[in-house]
Amino acid sequence: MRFITDLIRYFVYITTGILFVFIVVLLIKGIDSISIQKLIQIPCAALITALITVIFSICSRETSTKKEFYIGIAIHYILLCAAMVFFGTTFGWVNFDLEGVMIIVISTAAIYAFTFVGAYLSSKNDAKKLNEALRSKREQKK
C-alpha cells in the first residue's frame, strides 16, 4: 500500500514541478501557447520519473553513511536526467544536443528540488502528527 501512496505523492509533486518548469521555459523562449498533446505528455513523464523515485527510495532505505546517501542522491538524479532526456527528445520538448540536454539537466534539478522540499514538508508534518498521536496514547495509558 505504501508503494501506491508514495507513487501518487511523488507523481503529484513531479507533475506540478514539470508544469512549473515547463511554463518558465516557455516564458523564457517567448512561446505563449501549449498544445494539448504537451499537456498529456507531462503526466506521462511524471509517472515514469515518480516510479523511478519510489523504486529507488525502496532500494536505498538502508543507507548507513552520509557518503552512501550522497552517492544515492547522485545516482537517482542521473537516472531522472536520463529519463527526462529520453522524454524531452522523444516528445520534442528539446533537441538532442548540448543545449537541449543542459535545459533538461537544469530543469530536472529544479523539479528535484521542488519535489524534495514538498516531500520533506509533507513527511515532517506526518511525523509531527504521528508523534502527537503517540504522546496522546501514552498519556491515556497513565
Grouping H, G, I as helix, E, B as strand and the rest as coil, residue 60 is coil
Is the pTM value of this prediction over 0.75?
yes
Give the DSSP letter of residue 30.
T
CA angle 119, 122, 128 (to 5 degrees): 135
User: What is the residue-level pLDDT of the chain in tens, covering all 142 positions?
Assistant: 889 999 999 999 999 999 999 889 889 889 888 889 988 999 999 999 999 999 998 887 777 788 888 898 999 999 999 999 999 999 999 999 999 999 999 999 999 999 999 888 888 877 788 788 778 877 787 6
89 is written with which cell numbers? 527528445
Grouping H, G, I as helix, E, B as strand and the rest as coil, residue 70 is helix
What are the b/e assignments for 6-29, b being 16+ CB within 10 Å?
bbebbbebbbbbbbebbeebeeee
- Residue from 89, 93, 79 nearest 48 by CA: 79
